[in-house]
Structure 1
């Protein structure tokens, strides 16, 4: 582990995430929707802490490598997406598209530049497989997934596919191991019912982080 890289990454993540509450406030509420439909915005200190922790963990796991340059901005965008999903149960298409642009484009170019088209093919296949799986679940009655979850899962699968199939497997399993206990605790404390929608975006992002760290 490179401590200076981890500290730099954490500083970057925390500083960039300081702007998240203001951006999330503007993007979380769909046009024509009342602010009462969304939960209260988190305090800036929590987004700064989340951004610093996420980026610091990536810096510690990846070290001084080009991949870190790709994933640090993605980490900040991930915190923003998580905040919006926790508040309003939505993952805005423009932000998911931006997340895709800052990950898929550089990873694709990197694989082609260093002469590893197989890595790119694996990432595309992972994105397609995971995207189809999540889409089928979303189309099931009571599936509990939105199309935003499907799109984000596919983008994250591409990023994990670039790292390898073990990362894809962990990234597929971990979100449900994260959300399962959360849903159970909400049911047991009667803060939610069986059909109460729960945000999956934060768990998808956390699962991808776990997968990246576990496979480095």
Structure 2
């Protein structure tokens, strides 16, 4: 995608970043609202949007990827603030992903990619259910539902994207936990949100595969 074409995507990302905090605050009590979110969300959204447009600009599902990313930014802020992935937001991401990918498959005449998306959602959801059922697992079922939703666009992008999107979040989360433990910022029993890692891993998988 040309630089001129990326400019409106960057502007859209900035606008989405401005909207993310007020939408997230509907799910977060005032004392838990991180002050830095209002300042950080616009540039972060620009990076997320421009990254997807640069790498996936020729994919008919790019608008779907951007829409899911927008909801994902809200989910990340909420999870960081209060360790929650609200069902209405996860469901909205799922509806956008499935409906948008179904439309993209129909318009592009590629029904096989929709089948791949559904298979990705099933595989990602099942894998995280198994992880959640392991003894002493701290994986919540909000994380499981989000992983299943993210399996839709990852499955659309292909097997490599799906497998990378399944592995990367846990590497990112594990590395963060080890770093925080080494710095004595958290304890072994401290609960940390997995949602942002799931979303970051899916975004990186879309860029790297």
Q: TM over 0.5: same fold?
A: yes
Identify the residue that residue 145 of structure 2 maps to in structure 1: 151
Matched, 1:134 2:151: no
Identify the residue that residue 19 of structure 1 maps to in structure 2: 19
Structure 2 matches for 1:72-91, cutoff 5 A? Answer: 72-91=66-85
Cα shift readout 1:41-97 (whole Å, capped 9, x = no counterpart): 434120111111101111111225532222222222111111111111111000011
Name structure 1 gaps, 5 residues minimum: 30-34
Q: TM-score under structure 1 normalisation?
A: 0.89
Cα distance, 1:202–1:109 mapped onto 2, change above 3 Å: same
Question: Which has the higher mean CA deviation after the structures are superposed, 83-92 or 190-199?
Answer: 190-199
How far did residue 39 of structure 1 move? 5.7
Identify the residue that residue 4 of structure 1 maps to in structure 2: 4
Any conservation in 2 of the 1:5–1:60 contact (CA below 8 Å)?
no
Structure 2 matches for 1:64-143, cutoff 5 A? Answer: 65-143=59-137
SS of the residue 1:66 aligns to = coil
Structure 2 matches for 1:28-47, cutoff 5 A? Answer: 28-29=28-29, 36=31, 38=32, 40-47=34-41
Alpha-carbon distance between aligned partners in 2 of 1:91 and 1:133, rounded to the nearest angstrom: 18
Alpha-carbon distance between aligned partners in 2 of 1:25 and 1:191, rounded to the nearest angstrom: 26
Any conservation in 2 of the 1:25–1:41 contact (CA below 8 Å)?
no
SS of the residue 2:61 aligns to = helix
Alpha-carbon distance between aligned partners in 2 of 1:214 and 1:65, rounded to the nearest angstrom: 15
RMSD of aligned Cα (Å): 1.7
Alpha-carbon distance between aligned partners in 2 of 1:207 and 1:83, rounded to the nearest angstrom: 16
Name structure 2 gaps, 5 residues minimum: none
Cα distance, 1:114–1:52 mapped onto 2, change above 3 Å: closer
Identify the residue that residue 193 of structure 2 maps to in structure 1: 199
Alpha-carbon distance between aligned partners in 1 of 2:72 and 2:40, rounded to the nearest angstrom: 14
Question: Which has the higher mean CA deviation after the structures are superposed, 20-29 or 147-156?
Answer: 20-29
Any conservation in 2 of the 1:28–1:90 contact (CA below 8 Å)?
no
Any conservation in 2 of the 1:3–1:60 contact (CA below 8 Å)?
no
Cα distance, 1:94–1:41 mapped onto 2, change above 3 Å: farther
How far did residue 4 of structure 1 move? 2.0
Alpha-carbon distance between aligned partners in 1 of 2:111 and 2:68, rounded to the nearest angstrom: 23
Any conservation in 2 of the 1:138–1:146 contact (CA below 8 Å)?
yes
Q: TM-score under structure 2 normalisation?
A: 0.92
Q: How many residues align?
A: 209
